[in-house]
Amino acid sequence: MNPELVHWSGPHGLPRFDRIADEDFGPAFDAALADADAAHRAIAGNPAEPDFANTIAPLETAAQALERVSAVFFTLAGLCSTDRREALQRDIAPRLAAHQARVMMDPALFARVQAVADSPDDLSPQDRRITELTLRDMRRAGAALDPDARDRMAAIRSRMATLSTAFTQNVLADERGFVLSVPDDRLDGLPDQLVAAMRRAAQDRGMAGQVVTLARSLIVPFLEHATDRALREVAWRGWVARGSGEGAGGAGTDNRAIATELLALRHERARLLGYADFAAFKLDTEMARDADQVQTLLDTVWAAARPRVVEEEATLARRMASEGINGPLEPWDWRFYAAAQRRDDLSIDDAEVKPFLSLDAMIAAAFDVAGRLFALEFTPFTAPLWHDDVRAWTVTRKGRHMGVFLGDYFARAGKRSGAWCSALQPQHRMGAGQRAIVVNACNFTPPAQDGAPALLSWDDARTLFHEMGHALHHLLSEVDWPSVSGTAVARDFVELPSQLFEHWLEQPEVLAAHARHVDSGTPLPPDLRDRILAAERAGTGFATTEYLESAMVDLAFHRGEPPADPMAAQAQVLAGMGAPHAVPMRHATPHFAHVFAGDGYSAGYYSYLWSEVMDADAFAAFRETGDVFDPEVAERLERTILARGNSRAADDLWQEFRGRRPGVEPLLQGRGLLPG
């Protein structure tokens, strides 16, 4: 094994990516899997009476080498994918699933964990918590099943790992393969900054002229500004065709059969464990607890959002008709006419906003907020990482090392779309302890020229703050055990810190300090800030609708019997909602990676909305003091939520922070969906 894959020797404990080659991963996974299997067998076969010290504690370290190899590999697979890495991922995914099944369904190990859980030993609250979580997770994995059912469960998990990997790679192939060349005589309406970014994208692909790719930072502004309706349609169809068999990869990247099989396997898994369906299984450990509560929330917000989106649709349709275009408003028209309406109603356009939102300034703004709230300091350093674009900072507080933060901000070929936060290593206090190494990944448009500042849209800046909120959840973690560290919390609780942090982007004092014009240095004018926020609210019907459509389809897929034809089921749900034709799902089934590229958000896409109910109420706790940087509320937020990980149940942590259950009214008010 290449020792760099386990014993990281780079600055501040980072892996030396320059000393790691793709051919290192096969032997490394072989050795790490063997070591982990041996460690788990030793725990399960220990002849001593089971107790916390000889059973639960060693489970936290048994797969340490495997976790470190996996962290390096999957960081590269998501951020710098290649054909070689995709082949490795297809090979390793079922092997990792099989290893997990061997551990979590081992009857001897399960008996020992059960004995510790039943023991009257006086464990600390956190030790008791991880014992109960380990027992719960083993039961949910199938450890209590009879041998035949355990074998079937292992086969299901292995197959699901294979399918999820294929789903992810199919979407990536379609994203990588779509390139729309836009001739010089069809650039009408496109801002100079966007055209420059399109030319950079063409150069990166060895092409002349300018192109649109499926990077969100390119295709969304193109749909907002291109006056050429035919080109907008081509771009939009390429975007929504990902994974459908009609994308750039053709039939070879069709995810529809994969989605069908995954839904069936999930249902079978839930039934083996005694649940009525997969939604009941999944939600049993979440804050929501059951699908009826989730459906009630979604229905409540939909009832408020639908009149707004119908009103928005009528306004845009009239605008389109006034330009002499016959026929209904189409999905490739919405963003274009909505942007035009904002320009007319609010005199606002991305070309006016972006010069005030340089990437460097928004990073500094996020760091400033983290410093004012939690006294964190970010110091840049250089290290051999996976790409020249990646930036690194040490994070300290009053001289104490709090972790390492890595930012990979620009879109490029081979990088998974979207934005996310991951940890190369979690914080824990075992042995000498360790601090988190956190990665924020985004897909912003790189600068048109080397040395020029990268400019963000308001949505980009909000995304940067969102992912920083996740990073703070890792960096401020103060728990004993890695299994409950940082963001290892209930899925419908994990978005609370990230969505809460977004609120500080809007604060006048933050923008006055950091949102400054890249050329003149003048601060963002207050009236422009007001127009930006008004524009967000003006499009809230669209934003809420496209999200709710995806959330409701996800929940419907996992309630009751799985659909034999997910695409037909998707259409049925949307029709039942009365969803507007011109507002398609934010994530249609064939490219719904949240739901099908793993189990993370399956039957859980609602969690963004569930967390938004809490984040609106949590920010109200700051507002109620008259100071959005109130130190006592910030300290309580850190102590009760950000530092605690999953060391206590999410409901208990929220109650400790806020003292009551949140209501939906602040969410509706924040989205501008309350009447009057």
Q: What is the CATH number of the domain that holds 62?
A: 1.20.1050.40
Per residue in 557-580, pLDDT (tens digit) is: 999 999 999 999 999 999 999 999
Q: How far is CA 378 from the centre of its chain?
A: 23
Domain contains 658:
no
Q: Does 405 share its domain with 501?
A: yes
Domain contains 265:
no
497: alpha, beta or left, given left = phi > 0 and alpha = psi -120 to 50? alpha
> 137-141, 286-290, 470-474: which has the minimum mean pLDDT?
286-290
As beta bridge partners, residue 392 has: 381, 406
> How many structural domains comprise the chain?
3
User: pLDDT at position 671, please?
Assistant: 86
Q: Does 110 share its domain with 191?
A: no
What are φ and ψ of residue 359, in 5° steps?
-55, -45
Q: What would the mean pLDDT of 135-160 be, rounded to a whole number?
A: 96
* Alpha carbon distance 129, 644 (integer Å): 12
Q: Does 248 share its domain with 369?
A: no
**Which run of H or of E encompasses 401?**
strand 400-410
User: pLDDT at position 337, please?
Assistant: 97
Give percent of the chain above pLDDT 70. 100
Domain contains 334:
no
Q: Does 401 share its domain with 447?
A: yes
Per residue in 95-132, pLDDT (tens digit) is: 999 999 999 999 999 999 999 999 988 899 999 999 99
Helices 526-538 and 540-558 sit at what angle, rounded to 10 degrees? 40
User: pLDDT at position 660, please?
Assistant: 87
* Alpha carbon distance 591, 268 (integer Å): 23
Per the CB < 8 A criterion, the answer to whether 456 and 355 are in contact is: no
Per the CB < 8 A criterion, the answer to whether 433 and 333 are in contact is: no
Domain contains 133:
yes
Distances (CA, A) of 555 to 1, 2, 306, 607: 43, 44, 19, 11
pLDDT at residue 318 tops 70:
yes
User: Which residue segment(s) compose the domain that 61 sits in?
Assistant: 3-144
Q: Does 185 share its domain with 140?
A: no
pLDDT at residue 87 tops 60:
yes
Q: What would the mean pLDDT of 195-213 be, rounded to a whole number?
A: 94
Q: What would the mean pLDDT of 661-672 be, rounded to a whole number?
A: 85
User: pLDDT at position 448, please?
Assistant: 80
Q: Does 488 share its domain with 376?
A: yes
* Alpha carbon distance 207, 220 (integer Å): 21
pLDDT at residue 446 tops 60:
yes
Model-level pTM? 0.94
Q: Does 11 share its domain with 78?
A: yes
> At which of 215, 235, 253 does a domain end?
253
Tokens 């909000």 sit at which residue? 462
Per residue in 396-422, pLDDT (tens digit) is: 999 999 999 999 999 998 999 899 999
Q: Does 409 share its domain with 526?
A: yes
Name the pLDDT band for 676 (thresholds 50, 70, 90): low
Q: Does 87 share its domain with 185?
A: no
Q: Does 140 share its domain with 182?
A: no
Across the chain, what does the average pLDDT equal?
95
Q: Is 149 helix (H, G, I), strand (E, B) or coil?
A: helix
Domain contains 550:
no
Q: Does 400 share its domain with 532?
A: yes
Catalytic center residues: 467
Domain contains 24:
yes
Per residue in 15-68, pLDDT (tens digit) is: 999 999 999 999 999 999 999 999 999 999 999 999 999 999 999 999 999 999
Per residue in 516-563, pLDDT (tens digit) is: 999 999 999 999 999 999 998 888 999 999 999 999 999 999 999 999
> At which of 537, 553, 581 does a domain end?
537
398: alpha, beta or left, given left = phi > 0 and alpha = psi -120 to 50? left
To the nearest 5 percent, what fractions of the chain are helix, strand and coil?
Answer: 60, 5, 30
Domain contains 327:
no
User: pLDDT at position 40, please?
Assistant: 98
Give percent of the chain above pLDDT 90. 92
Q: Does 23 share its domain with 108?
A: yes
> At which of 491, 510, 537 does a domain end?
537
User: pLDDT at position 83, please?
Assistant: 93
Per the CB < 8 A criterion, the answer to whether 106 and 143 are in contact is: yes
